[in-house]
Amino acid sequence: MEKIINYENLRYYAYSNDKAIKGDIKGIVIDFFGLGGQAMFREDTKTGTFFAENGVIFIVPYTNPWGWMNRDEVRLADEIIDVIKEKYGLTDKTPLVATGGSMGGLACIVYTKYAKHTPVGCVASCPVCDLPYHYTERVDLPRTLYSAFYSYDCSLDEALKSCSPLHLASTLPEKTEYTIFHCEKDSAVNIEMHSDKFVNELSKYRRVDYFKVPNKDHCDLGEENDLKFKQIALSYVLKNS
- Condensed to tens digits (0 to 9), the pLDDT of residues 154-196 reads 999 999 999 999 999 999 999 999 999 999 999 999 999 999 9
Mean pLDDT of the chain: 97
Task: Find all residues with CB under 8 Å of 9, minimum gap 6, and list them.
Answer: none
The confidence band for 1, taking pLDDT boundaries of 50, 70 and 90, is confident
> Over the range 136-172, which residues count as b (16 or more CB within 10 Å of their CB) and which as e?
ebeeebeebbeebbeeeeeeeeebbbbbbbbbbbeeb
How confident is the model over 59-91, as pLDDT tens digits?
Answer: 999 999 999 999 999 999 999 999 999 999 999
pLDDT at res. 183:
98
Which SS3 state, helix, strand or coil, does residue 190 take? coil
- Residue-level pLDDT at 139: 97
Q: What pLDDT does 3 receive?
A: 85
C-beta separation of 218 from 187 below 8 A: yes
Query: What's the confidence (pLDDT) of residue 37?
Result: 94
- For the cut 90, the answer to whether the pLDDT of residue 52 exceeds it is yes
Residue 213 pLDDT greater than 80, yes or no: yes
pLDDT surpassing 90 at residue 54: yes
pLDDT of residue 20: 97
The pLDDT score that the predictor gives to residue 221 is: 98
Q: Does domain 10-238 have CATH number 1.10.3470.10?
A: no
The per-residue pLDDT for range 85-139, each reduced to its tens digit, is 999 999 999 999 999 999 999 999 999 999 999 999 999 999 999 999 999 999 9
**What would the mean pLDDT of 137-150 be, rounded to a whole number?**
97
What does the pLDDT look like over 186-205, one tens digit per residue?
Answer: 999 999 999 999 999 999 99
Q: Comparing C-alpha atoms, which of 107, 38, 119 is closest to residue 71?
A: 107
The CB density around residue 42, as the number of other CB atoms within 10 Å, is 6
Residues above pLDDT 90, as percent of the chain: 98
* pLDDT at 102 (0 to 100): 98
